Structure 1
Amino acid sequence: MKLEECLVKKMYHEEKFLQGDLDDHPIRQLGGLYLAEQKKDMADLSYIRFAQGEVYFHNCDYEAAIFKWENIHNELEPWAKKNIADAYFELGFLSTAEDIYKSITTESLILNTEVALQLFTLYLEQRKYEEADQMIKNAVAIHPDYQNVTELACAFFVDREDWNSAVDLAVNEAARTKSPEWFQKLHSFIENGHTQSHGASHFVPILYLAQKVDLAIFEDLMAALWKNHEQREDYLSWITEATIILQDSDLPHTYRWQSLPGLMNNTFMQMLAGKYYLADLAEIMPNLLAAWLKIADNKTAPLASAGVLAWNDTFYSQINEDVVRSAEESLTESVNQGMLMEKIMELAHAIQNWADERGLNLHKRFEWILEQLEDLNSHRVMVASMSTSEKSSFIHEMLKHSDSSCIDVSLPVLFKDGQETEFQLVSDEGVSVVTTSKDIIEAENRPDTLLVYSEPNTLLHAHNMTMIDYPEMDGVNKSNSHFLEYLRMSDRLLFVLNNKEPFSTEECEFLLDITEKVPLCPIHFVLKKSELLSADGVYEIEKRIKNYFPNAELFTYSTDGEGDHQEAFSRFIPQYQDGESNERLRTGNMLFFIRETIKHLLQQQVKVEEDLNRSIQFDENLLARLQGAVHQLYDLEEEKIKAIQNAYRSLRDEIRSDLIKTIPKLIKESADILREDSDFGNIHHELNDEMNKRIDEYLQYTVHPRYINSLQDWISFSEGELNEVQKLLVEWNESFNELMGEERIRLECDFQILADWQRDADRMTGAIQIDKENILLKRTPAQMLLKSAGKIFGVIPANNSMMYNRYKNFIENENYSETAESIANKFFRQFELLEKAIPRDISLFFREPFTALKKSAASYQEQVDKNKAALTEMKSHPETFCDPIKLFDVRLRQLEWLEFQEKSRKHVY
């Protein structure tokens, strides 16, 4: 055993001194050696003391061990210090142990590593994790090969979830040791998402190294990093780094890649899904395609090759010519993977989703047609003719419609088997169920509409077939786009020949023109027999047809009642049904409709801008009207508050005026209770009571009933005023909803205030309570003199006449206006709450209309702001609209190249 290894394990005593009798106790043996050494003239006891310290340590006599090691002053002194620190550590004196560890100075890598590891353990004990982290990193830096130090460090980092340190350790150790285990740990960290803080270029060096170690490890790391970056902002930076690595590397052609080709295929699809702009992809895509082509497997080789060619078609010269030639050769040699139909539908759905997210209107008819084409189990036959009557006769004869007259329309009609009779209209706007004949009549004015007629049908059900009847072919324009669209929806064309001149020059030229536009669509012919047409004549017609259409078949039938024509047609149908040919035809047709959809999208930008401008103008006009209505409603509210308040004040002022006039008169009339024999010493009390009594009776039985009646008239007046408001708001309501095209706003006022006012009026019908007024009990000078005179002279009968005249004169000539004002104020005080609440109550009446108008105005303001922002964005950044469509076009070109590979020749769509 090496010396330092012995020192680490504290086995120096066994290696150096205990080579003899193993049965004798080490303490006894070392004690004997100590005595023997001590007797020497040049005794050196340090080594034996060091060994004794180890024995004491192993036997947990740490104090004795420390005593022995403290006296070591030779080359073992650093190890002795380390052992002393170990002993203090075991005794629990951690601070002392730490100080001693830190004081050790040595050039020994192993001792330095051991000290770092001991300090690491000590700091863990003290839960000083930052210090522990530094110590384990020191240990790795000093001696990474030492006794699982890197594994210990990795376990510590993982336990502390210090993923940056764990990842860096794995990278460094993989690079240093080239050990598959460290590459696998790194792969695990990446796969579990622990490398989020590391940039795209961080792992480039280790990836280059992984290629030399093991290609499978390299691929696993690349795939894990690829998936990890997919959801990160630096995804494009990663693709750049990854593709450069793949292109620069000398990778063997014999290696069979497992996951990278598929990941690169997915990435290619992501790049073309409408999320990125061309500026983002101009430099990335050529490298991605070149790298993909370089490592493509059998499954993805056609996709990679077609992707290269598609990008080169769209952005010529961006891809190296050697890569393009390699793609052409690869596509020629690749094997059909039977995935084209699936890829076409993926593209169709991607375009649809992108358009839906942006509120763009796609041709719903095209979308519906693509869904029909996707169903390979169903077969569609298009029936056309230059003779409408003979075509209709054939269809009705084969389908045996008893009510065929109801389908004689100028629209294309698709007949299909169904459980019940149903009509549907398929147009660019969507699919709708027909409920009345008016729907069909209106649809006949739209050339883009198809009528779908479903009913139980034996022939269609038996062959899982639908039949398209295209109308009005007489003098048809050869460039009729809708005819070609429905032909591309079909698996074959059945052309019903003119019975009078079968396969005429006009018919032949028309069909040859169709063949040029849709070259793969099979054409077959139908001829109704007649007495004028012999068997030889039929043979000649068939022979002429074969000259132009060698693969065409001729089906003949008659309507003379001989034979079952439907059964004969059923035998005829399977002759031209070829599943493989149908799929090839349909892929081309589906690509055609996607191409048309992309063209439609390109035209949408102008339309979208126009629609946004129209929408903004409309919404701004409507918003202005709504805001104007709000201001007008404020004015109306103020007007009604003023009118209703004035009406109330008018009745109040009228009654108050009568009070002011009548009360003084009642007071003066109270003088009629005076008599010459009255007790003038107390007469002022009697008069004051009488005056208050007469005033109270006047208020209770005259003024109060009059006020209540006037209040009822005021409520009726107010109701009329408020009804005028509601009537006006109903007109506004209808006008706004008509402009908005929906029942979006309701302007309903709160008439509860009338009920509240009526309740208050009913509550006021009871007797009113007014405190007595001190009319003659005031301490005015005149009243004081009169009262004093009454008390002085009232006891002398001779003076009664004088006092009578004085009191009568005083009462009849006194000014009672102040008293009348006081009583009037008291009378109306109990009604003040009603008057003060009028503005608030009327505001409550208007509250809901205000809320509805303001809410609607806010909604339209938000819509205007949103549309203006969208319009500004479209004008300032046209790439947000055009670039995704351009990328969809690249994806379409890729599928067209795949179709070319499957058919071994290119077709024009």
Structure 2
Amino acid sequence: MKMEDCLVKKAFYEEKFLQGDLEEHPIRQLGELYLEEQKKDMADLSYIRFAQGEVYFHNCDYEAAIFKWENIHNELEPWAKKNIADAYFELGFLSTAEDFYNSITTDSLILNTEVALQLFTLYLEQQKYSEADQMIKNAVAIHPDYQNVTELACTFFEEQEDWNSAVELAINEAARTKLPEWFQKIHSFIENGYTRAQGASHFVPILYLAQKVDIVLFEKLMAALWKSHEQREDYLSWITEATIILLDSDLQHSYKWESLPELINNTFIQLLSGRYHLADITEIMPNLLPAWLKVADIKTTPLASAGVLAWNDVFPAQMNQEVVHSAEEGLAKSANQGTLMEKISGLVGVIRNWADERDLNLHKRFENSLNQLSELNLKRWMIAGRSNSGKSSFVHLMLKQPESSLIDTSLPIVYKSGGTTEFQVIADEGISTVTTSKEIIEAESRQDTMLVYLEPNAFLQEHDVAIIDYPDLNGLNKNNKHFLEYVRMSDSLLFVLNPIEPFSTQECEFLLDVTERVPLCPIHFVLKKSAQLTPDQISVIEKRIKNYFPEAELITYSAVEDSEQQQEALSRFINQNLNKERNERLRSGNMLFFIRGTIKHLLQQQVKVEEKLQKSIQFDEDLLSKLQGAINQLYDLEEEKTKVIQNEYRSLKDEIQADILNTIPKLIKESADILREDSDFGNIHHELNDEMNKRIDEYLQYTAHPAYISSLQNWISLSEGELNAAQELLISWNESFNDLMGEERVRLECDFQILADWQRDADRMTGAIQVDEENILLKRTPSQVLLKSAGKIFGVIPANNTMMYNRYKSFVENENYSETAESIANKFFRQFEILEKAIPRDISLFFKEPFTALKKSAASYQEQVDQNKAALTEMKSHPETFRDPIRLFDVRLRQLEWLEFQGKSSKHAGL
């Protein structure tokens, strides 16, 4: 055993001194050696003391061990200090142990590592996780190969959820050791989402190394990183890094890739979804596509090759021509991909979502055709023919309907079985249900319109068939684009021949052109029997047809023969001529045709979108102006109603107050009638004062107060009328705004609770009122003082009663009581002041909700205007933001067209 290993295990005593008899206890053996050494002239007891300390430590006599190690001053002194620290640690003196560990100075990697690990354990014991983190990192840095130090560090980082440190450790160890388990650890961290803090380029070196260590691990790491970056902002940066790695690497051609080809395919689709800027994508694709080709296998090569060729079609200057040539070869040699319907439907969904997010109007007729073509269970047969061909009677035969019941219209009609009878008009602008013949006639005036007729129909339901009845062809124009669109909506074309000149040269040339343009669409022929057509003639016609259309069948029918038998024959014909594989391939090509039309339509939408945005801005600004005007008018209305209601209240108050000010002085003066010549003029002023207050109180309680309450009820009624008039005006605004907005967006409802509150206050005030008595004759005015003094002086002289009577009466009847009346009026109205002062606040509450609704709508439209203006500015200043996604849709479409072309080539090669 190496010496440092012995020192770590505290087994120096065994290695150095106990090489002989091991049966005798080490303490005794070392004690005897100590005595022998001590007898020497140049005795060196340090080594024996060191060994004795180890034995004491192992036997838990830590104090004795410390005592022995404290006297070590040779090359073992650093180890002795470390052992002393270990002993104090065991004794629980952690601070002392820490001091000893930190005091050790040595060049030994192992000792330094051991000290770091012991301090790591000590700090964990003290829950000093920051210090523990630093110590374990020191240990790894000093000696990463030491025992299980890296595994211990990784476990600690994971427990502390310090994923950055854990990831860095795993990367460093994978690079240092090249052991698969560390690459697996990195993969685990990535899959669990613990590498989000690391940038796109962080794992590049380790990925290059993983290729050399294990190609399977390399792919797992690449796939995990690819998925983890999909939702991150640096996704495009990652794709750049990843594709460079794939292109730079000398990858094994024999390796079968499990996940990268599909991941790159998904990335290709994501990049073409309209979410990313074209400028960014054009920097990525020249590397992504060759990288895709490089990892593609026999199954994924067609997708990758078609992707390269599609990108080269749209951006020819960007692709390396060697890569393009390789893609052409790969596509030519690849196996048929089978149905493309799922991929095509995916592209349709992406385009639809992109258009919906921007409120774009898709070509509704094309969109409807795409939806119908994606329903593989429903077969669509198109019936067409020249005028006077008997097409209507054949349609009647298929539908089991009287010919007179068929719809007379110049529009193409799609007959479908449905639960109820319903007509739908499908135009470029949209789909609508119609209920009158007038609406159908109006639809005929619009170009590119079709009619869908749904009704319960046993034949259509039994065979899962929809029939497209195309209007009579007056001329056979080879450039009949409209006709070809409906052929592409169909799984088969049944062409009804003109019985007078069946399968004419003109009909033949027209249909050969249709076959050239829509090569997979089967064409069959229908001929109405007549007395002029013999079986031999029909046989000749059929042979002529076969010369040009070898797979075509000729169906003959009669308007007079048993319809049931003919229906059965039609059923057999439908079942025999249904080639599911061919039908799916036909629909794939037709869907691609309508997608191209939709993309072309979208390209034409930019001007329309700008016009729509401009109109929307103008409309919203006009509406916003009306809302702002309504808000200002509402302020005026509130001010007007407040003024009217407040003035009415003040008017009734002024009327009552005037009556009080006029009546009270009279009542006071009339109180003189209680004076008599025999009155006690020494106290008469008290009697008069009481009488005056009594009469005033009766007047206030039984005259003024009831009159006020009655006037208050009238005021509430008048206020209710004013507020109702305001509400009616707001209702008219409400209806007007909602008509303009096209929805029930504004509710201008006022709060009539204030009337209930006012009525409650009025009811509360119907009881008796309390007005404090006035000291009318007890005030110290000069005339009153004189009068009261005279009363006291002459009150004892009977002969002076007449004089006092006259003087009191004259005083009472001639005094000015206006100040007293005003004081009483103020007291009377004091209890009503709260109601009066609350009128403006209450009316403000009445209009609060309408104000809120109008302001909220105004803010909403202002935000809408701002957004539309920003969108319009962006569209005008950066038209590429609209056109670039459509160009990318075109790339995706071309990829599918290349695959469809490859499918045709494979099929023809197989034939």
TM-based fold match above 0.5 = yes
Aligned match of 2:637: 636
> Matched residue of 1:282: which SS?
helix
Q: Per-residue deviation at 1:590?
A: 0.9
1:457–1:56: structure 2 CA closer, same or farther, 3 Å change rule? same
Q: Per-residue deviation at 1:864?
A: 1.9
Aligned match of 1:786: 787
Q: Deviations over 1:139-197 (max 9, x none)?
A: 33333333333333333333333333332232222222222222222222222222222
Q: TM-score, normalised by structure 1?
A: 0.91
Aligned match of 1:239: 239
1:681–1:406: structure 2 CA closer, same or farther, 3 Å change rule? farther
Aligned match of 2:310: 310
1:895–1:785: structure 2 CA closer, same or farther, 3 Å change rule? same
Code of the residue aligned with 2:738 in structure 1: it is: N
> Matched residue of 1:583: which SS?
helix
- Distance in 1 between the 2:834 and 2:94 partners? 85
Aligned match of 1:535: 535
Unaligned runs of 5+ in 2: none
| 1:387 and 1:497 in contact (8 A); partners too | no
| 1:525 and 1:552 in contact (8 A); partners too | yes
Aligned match of 1:285: 285
| 2:396 and 2:406 in contact (8 A); partners too | no
Code of the residue aligned with 2:405 in structure 1: it is: S
Q: Deviations over 1:799-851 (max 9, x none)?
A: 44434443443344333333333344344444434433333333333333323
Q: Deviations over 1:302-331 (max 9, x none)?
A: 111111111111111211111111111111
Aligned match of 1:463: 463
- Distance in 2 between the 1:688 and 1:292 partners? 114
1:906–1:893: structure 2 CA closer, same or farther, 3 Å change rule? farther
Q: Deviations over 1:650-681 (max 9, x none)?
A: 33333433444444444444545555555544
Aligned match of 1:552: 552
Q: Deviations over 1:602-654 (max 9, x none)?
A: 22332222222111111111111111111112212222222233233333333
Aligned match of 2:749: 748
1:192–1:705: structure 2 CA closer, same or farther, 3 Å change rule? closer
> Matched residue of 1:414: which SS?
strand
- Distance in 1 between the 2:65 and 2:801 partners? 140
- Distance in 2 between the 1:177 and 1:248 partners? 24
Aligned match of 2:256: 256
Aligned match of 2:859: 858
Q: Per-residue deviation at 1:244?
A: 1.1
**Higher mean C-alpha displacement, 412-421 vs 69-78:** 69-78
1:307–1:830: structure 2 CA closer, same or farther, 3 Å change rule? same
1:720–1:344: structure 2 CA closer, same or farther, 3 Å change rule? same
Check if 1:886 corresponds to 2:882.
Answer: no
Q: How do 1:363-378 and structure 2 match up within 5 A?
A: 363-378=363-378
- Distance in 2 between the 1:163 and 1:746 partners? 55
Q: Deviations over 1:709-768 (max 9, x none)?
A: 544544444344334323322322222222122232233334444455455555655555
Q: Deviations over 1:579-612 (max 9, x none)?
A: 1211111111111121122222222332222222
1:695–1:479: structure 2 CA closer, same or farther, 3 Å change rule? farther
- Distance in 1 between the 2:341 and 2:903 partners? 12
Check if 1:728 corresponds to 2:720.
Answer: no
| 2:339 and 2:588 in contact (8 A); partners too | no
1:224–1:713: structure 2 CA closer, same or farther, 3 Å change rule? closer
> Matched residue of 1:283: which SS?
helix
- Distance in 2 between the 1:242 and 1:651 partners? 88
| 1:384 and 1:471 in contact (8 A); partners too | yes
Q: Deviations over 1:459-493 (max 9, x none)?
A: 32333221111235335876555433332111111
1:713–1:323: structure 2 CA closer, same or farther, 3 Å change rule? same
> Matched residue of 2:467: which SS?
strand
- Distance in 2 between the 1:841 and 1:134 partners? 70
Aligned match of 1:392: 392
Aligned match of 1:358: 358
Q: Per-residue deviation at 1:333?
A: 0.9
Q: Per-residue deviation at 1:138?
A: 3.4
Q: How do 1:671-820 and structure 2 match up within 5 A?
A: 671-672=672-673, 674-676=675-677, 678-692=679-693, 694-696=695-697, 698-699=699-700, 703-758=704-759, 760-761=761-762, 769-820=770-821
Aligned match of 1:184: 184
Code of the residue aligned with 2:886 in structure 1: it is: I
Code of the residue aligned with 1:780 in structure 2: it is: T
**Higher mean C-alpha displacement, 329-338 vs 1-10:** 1-10
- Distance in 2 between the 1:788 and 1:22 partners? 140
- Distance in 2 between the 1:98 and 1:772 partners? 93
Code of the residue aligned with 1:836 in structure 2: it is: K
Q: How do 1:376-455 and structure 2 match up within 5 A?
A: 376-387=376-387, 390-402=390-402, 405=405, 407-428=407-428, 440=440, 443-455=443-455
Q: How do 1:453-532 and structure 2 match up within 5 A?
A: 453-475=453-475, 479=479, 481-504=481-504, 506-532=506-532
Q: Per-residue deviation at 1:395?
A: 0.8
1:128–1:683: structure 2 CA closer, same or farther, 3 Å change rule? closer
Q: How do 1:99-178 and structure 2 match up within 5 A?
A: 99-178=99-178
> Matched residue of 2:274: which SS?
coil
Aligned match of 2:646: 645
- Distance in 1 between the 2:22 and 2:692 partners? 140
**Higher mean C-alpha displacement, 330-339 vs 22-31:** 22-31
**Higher mean C-alpha displacement, 773-782 vs 858-867:** 773-782
| 2:302 and 2:330 in contact (8 A); partners too | yes
1:720–1:98: structure 2 CA closer, same or farther, 3 Å change rule? closer
| 1:491 and 1:521 in contact (8 A); partners too | yes
1:673–1:545: structure 2 CA closer, same or farther, 3 Å change rule? same
> Matched residue of 2:604: which SS?
helix
| 1:388 and 1:471 in contact (8 A); partners too | no
- Distance in 1 between the 2:29 and 2:806 partners? 154
| 1:382 and 1:467 in contact (8 A); partners too | yes
Code of the residue aligned with 1:233 in structure 2: it is: E
Aligned match of 1:300: 300
- Computed over aligned residues only, the root mean square deviation of the Cα atoms, in angstroms, reads 3.3
Aligned match of 2:272: 272
1:796–1:76: structure 2 CA closer, same or farther, 3 Å change rule? closer
1:319–1:668: structure 2 CA closer, same or farther, 3 Å change rule? same
Aligned match of 1:621: 622
| 1:383 and 1:495 in contact (8 A); partners too | yes
Q: Deviations over 1:351-393 (max 9, x none)?
A: 2222223333323443332232223232110112222782222
1:419–1:849: structure 2 CA closer, same or farther, 3 Å change rule? closer
| 2:398 and 2:567 in contact (8 A); partners too | yes
- Distance in 2 between the 1:822 and 1:71 partners? 110
Q: Per-residue deviation at 1:17?
A: 4.1
> Matched residue of 1:502: which SS?
coil
- Distance in 2 between the 1:659 and 1:107 partners? 112
- Distance in 2 between the 1:680 and 1:487 partners? 126
- Distance in 2 between the 1:334 and 1:708 partners? 100
Q: How do 1:22-61 and structure 2 match up within 5 A?
A: 22-34=22-34, 47-61=47-61
> Matched residue of 2:493: which SS?
strand
1:897–1:906: structure 2 CA closer, same or farther, 3 Å change rule? farther
Check if 1:822 corresponds to 2:823.
Answer: yes
| 1:668 and 1:812 in contact (8 A); partners too | yes
- Distance in 1 between the 2:673 and 2:126 partners? 113
Code of the residue aligned with 1:328 in structure 2: it is: E
**Higher mean C-alpha displacement, 388-397 vs 525-534:** 388-397
Q: TM-score, normalised by structure 2?
A: 0.91
Q: How many residues align?
A: 907
- Distance in 1 between the 2:625 and 2:649 partners? 36
- Distance in 2 between the 1:515 and 1:757 partners? 86
1:157–1:708: structure 2 CA closer, same or farther, 3 Å change rule? closer
